[in-house]
């Protein structure tokens, strides 16, 4: 069973998230502060933590390094109503695997949770996200179109991407995909199929590309 830790000072939202995840079959521990989350991580092992960015006392981002001391392979999602691309990049540079923007739908929470855990399992560690690398990746039209196709189709093989983008120079296109992977926007799953990362999904949405 997947063990989930929720740190959220909004009691109603915390209860709703907890109830939803329990119904989905997850084992959930919920607390109201970052300090309590750290204390839980000292006692128990979790697969993923959903941390509110702004809470009384320590912020969710500030807590990441502390909880990772006890759960080094745990996925971390920062939940915030104040999300921007810069916020996401900063959170991920400090160890978060994803950022979930409030208000969110139930399916968004489940998808983000599942993808964050999958990415952690596949990548073993977080990408170091560099803002300049992200913006450079988005500056190229071929890369933007590749991201949009992945957003629509969810997952695509290399040759399917080439066909959709009408690209015949596979060597050149492979370079573009490497840049997207370097920026942490796409990844390959265990079947070597390309998919968007949570970072890629977030960046696309906040650049109004999808």
pLDDT tens per residue across span 36-76: 999 999 999 899 999 999 999 999 999 998 888 877 778 99
Report pLDDT digits (tens) over 116-135. Answer: 887 776 654 444 566 778 88
Note the pLDDT of residue 95: 84
- Asked whether the predicted pLDDT for residue 205 surpasses 70, the reply is no
CA-to-CA distance for 55 and 78, rounded, in angstroms?
A: 12
More confident residue, 93 or 60: 60
Confirm if 52 and 81 have CB atoms less than 8 A apart. Answer: no
Higher pLDDT, 71 or 175: 175
The label of the residue with tokens 């949009």 reads 148
Percent of the chain with pLDDT strictly greater than 90: 55
Give the residue extent of every domain in the chain.
3-123, 131-206
pLDDT computed for residue 125 by the predictor: 40
Q: Residue 5: enclosing H or E segment and its boundaries? A: strand 3-7
> What does the pLDDT read at residue 164?
95
Please count the other Cβ atoms lying within 10 Å of the Cβ belonging to residue 147: 23
Compute the average pLDDT of residues 169-174: 93
Q: 57: buried, middle or exposed (CB in 10 Å: 19+, 13-18, 0-12)?
A: exposed
Distance from C-alpha of 122 to C-alpha of 197, rounded to nearest angstrom: 11
* pLDDT of amino acid 165: 94
Q: pLDDT at position 24, please?
A: 94
* φ/ψ bin of 99: left (φ > 0), alpha (ψ from -120 to 50), beta (otherwise): beta
CA distance linking residue 63 with residue 40, whole number of Å: 12
At residue 127, the pLDDT reads 47
Residue 126 is predicted with a pLDDT of: 42
Short-list 75, 3, 68, 6, CA closest to 34: 6
CATH class of 131-206: mainly alpha
CATH of domain 3-123: 3.40.50.2300
């Amino acid at each position: 069973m997947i063990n989930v830790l929720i740190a959220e000072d909004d009691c109603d939202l915390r209860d709703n998230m907890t109830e939803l995840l329990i119904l989905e079959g997850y084992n959930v521990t919920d607390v109201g502060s970052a300090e309590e989350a750290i204390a839980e991580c000292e006692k128990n092992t979790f697969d993923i933590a959903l941390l509110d960015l702004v809470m009384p006392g320590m912020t969710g981002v500030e807590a990441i390094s502390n909880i990772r001391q006890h759960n080094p392979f745990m996925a971390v999602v920062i939940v915030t109503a104040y999300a921007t691309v810069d916020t996401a990049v900063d959170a991920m540079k400090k160890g978060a695997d994803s950022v979930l923007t409030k208000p969110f739908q139930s399916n968004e929470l489940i998808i983000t949770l599942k993808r964050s855990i999958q990415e952690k399992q596949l990548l073993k560690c977080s990408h170091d996200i560099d803002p300049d690398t992200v913006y450079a990746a988005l500056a190229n039209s071929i890369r933007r179109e590749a991201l949009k196709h992945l957003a629509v189709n969810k997952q695509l093989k290399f040759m399917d991407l080439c066909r959709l983008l009408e690209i015949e120079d596979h060597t050149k296109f492979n370079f573009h995909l490497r840049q997207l992977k370097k920026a942490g926007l796409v990844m390959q799953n265990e079947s070597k199929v390309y998919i968007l990362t949570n970072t890629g999904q977030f960046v696309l949405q906040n650049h109004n590309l999808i």
